[in-house]
Amino acid sequence: MAEDVRAALLGWLLDAWDPELSLAGWRKRLAAAGWAAPTWPARLGGRDLPASAASLITAALAEFGAVGPPEGVGMSLAAPTLLQHGSGELQTRFLPPTVTGEITWCQLFSEPGAGSDLASLQTRAEPDGDEYLVSGQKVWTTSAHHADYGLLVARTNCDAPKHHGLTCFVLPMKQPGVEVRPLRQANGHASFNEVFLDGARIPASFVIGDVDGGWRVALTTLAHERRAAIPSPPAVHREGRVWREAAQEALHIRAPYRWYPQRAGRVDLLVPRALVTGRAADPYVRQELARAVTLAWTTRWTAQRAAAARKLGKPPGPEGSLGKLASSNVARAACAAHLAIAGPAAMLTGPDSPAGGVIAEIILSVPAVSIAGGTDEIQRNIIAERVLGLPKDPTLDAPVPFRDVPKNRS
């Protein structure tokens, strides 16, 4: 089956690939043939292939030298959420331009007072004729500064308990009621934003799922976030308009993710750095290095075992939270090994610093892995309760209307 799919794609590419098309033109062709999102249903431009086919097709596109679909929040979070919960109208309106990269997305979930406890969010959406008016503040919104649409969770009912009065929306970002302010991080990049919503308008038909049923929709998005791959720059750059425009896209759209390989700890650099710096014989360095590499390999094998189980048709298990937690451990172990190799010079940045500043960027970026997409502590709670069947974490949540829940002013 895998070989048949690969052969079919490579055969199609021989005829269809034209490097002088525009990037959007090429992606439209890719999507029309069902190869841009092959795991989607055929009625929405996919090929009904199993999830296991996705990585195979990505690899075959790269092997042939053809540009693939866009990466980022659109394909990894917005599309699966719309596929599962969106109305037919939302799916036909938003999925095609998402798969071609003509529209981009951000995820408007976290607020100053609602991160791990997302259901405490206070952004309000009030019906106003055939629209909703939205007011409140979101924060840590990756890529909001160039997103066309936001996947928004807002409170529509303060009389219901906190998990029951939330609704998910598609929010058009380019409108007067939406103000995006970039935040600069310790590592020098500006990936996140504060987003201030002041009477922002959303058509009522842009509700995803049921009004007041947004928690279920948000859980779908979060499950995909735990599994999402970190977007990486294209491995190859070839001749032709498609590649030139893909490189331009990479400059702008992927800029917020430039440091993401560093936040994962750069295990790939450990052995070469130990050898080139002459530190490979140091017992402490060897121990730290072996620890990081062992963790990275066992994590990869766990992921492969989960992928193999899915291929056999077994339902997804706890690997989302286990994998997320493991990636934090790998990143921290790799960071410790990089520190052991570089010593105090790890703090230096600039062209003559270790690995041209990459080591310093690793150290400043690694903590983000254990926060983004749900913190380590939250993953441990999920594993304890849903995998090990331990008693639930004590909670202050009471089945009272959200308006009666004590909260900080937001």
Interacting positions 72-101 with ligand FAD (CB under 6 A): none
Annotated catalytic residue, options 102, 111, 179, 225: 225
Q: According to the binding rule CB under 6 A, does residue 230 interact with ligand FAD?
A: no
C-beta of residue 326 within 8 angstroms of C-beta of residue 299: yes
To ligand FAD, the closest distance from the beta carbon of 318 in angstroms equals 18
Active site residue 319: no
Q: According to the binding rule CB under 6 A, does residue 107 interact with ligand FAD?
A: yes
Q: According to the binding rule CB under 6 A, does residue 371 interact with ligand FAD?
A: yes
d(CA 22, CA 131): 36
- One-letter amino acid identity for 268? D
Q: According to the binding rule CB under 6 A, does residue 122 interact with ligand FAD?
A: no
Residue among 234, 282, 375, 401 that touches ligand FAD (CB under 6 A): 375
Interacting positions 138-167 with ligand FAD (CB under 6 A): 140-142
Q: Which is nearer to ligand FAD, 236 or 396 (CB)?
A: 396
Name, in order, each residue with C-beta under 8 angstroms of 75's C-beta and a sequence gap of 6 or more.
37, 69, 98, 99
d(CA 73, CA 22): 22
Q: According to the binding rule CB under 6 A, does residue 397 interact with ligand FAD?
A: no
Per-residue DSSP letter, 387: I
From residue 129, give the alpha-carbon distance in Å to each of 7, 93, 132, 167: 53, 22, 8, 17
Q: According to the binding rule CB under 6 A, does residue 168 interact with ligand FAD?
A: no
- One-letter amino acid identity for 46? G
Residue among 58, 157, 277, 381 that touches ligand FAD (CB under 6 A): 381
To ligand FAD, the closest distance from the beta carbon of 114 in angstroms equals 7
Name, in order, each residue with C-beta under 8 angstroms of 395's C-beta and a sequence gap of 6 or more.
none
Q: Which stretch binds ligand FAD (CB under 6 A): 234-242, 247-255, 377-385, 398-406?
A: 377-385
Q: According to the binding rule CB under 6 A, does residue 169 interact with ligand FAD?
A: no
d(CA 103, CA 202): 17
Q: According to the binding rule CB under 6 A, does residue 259 interact with ligand FAD?
A: no
C-beta of residue 177 within 8 angstroms of C-beta of residue 201: yes
Residue among 22, 55, 92, 116 that touches ligand FAD (CB under 6 A): 116
Task: For residue 410, count other CB atoms closer than 10 A to its CB.
Answer: 13
Per-residue DSSP letter, 103: S
User: In the structure encoding, which two tokens stand for residue 331, read together?
Assistant: 């990143």
| Catalytic residue IDs | 225
* Interacting residues with ligand FAD (CB under 6 A): 106-107, 109-110, 115-116, 140-142, 368, 371-372, 374-375, 377-378, 381, 393
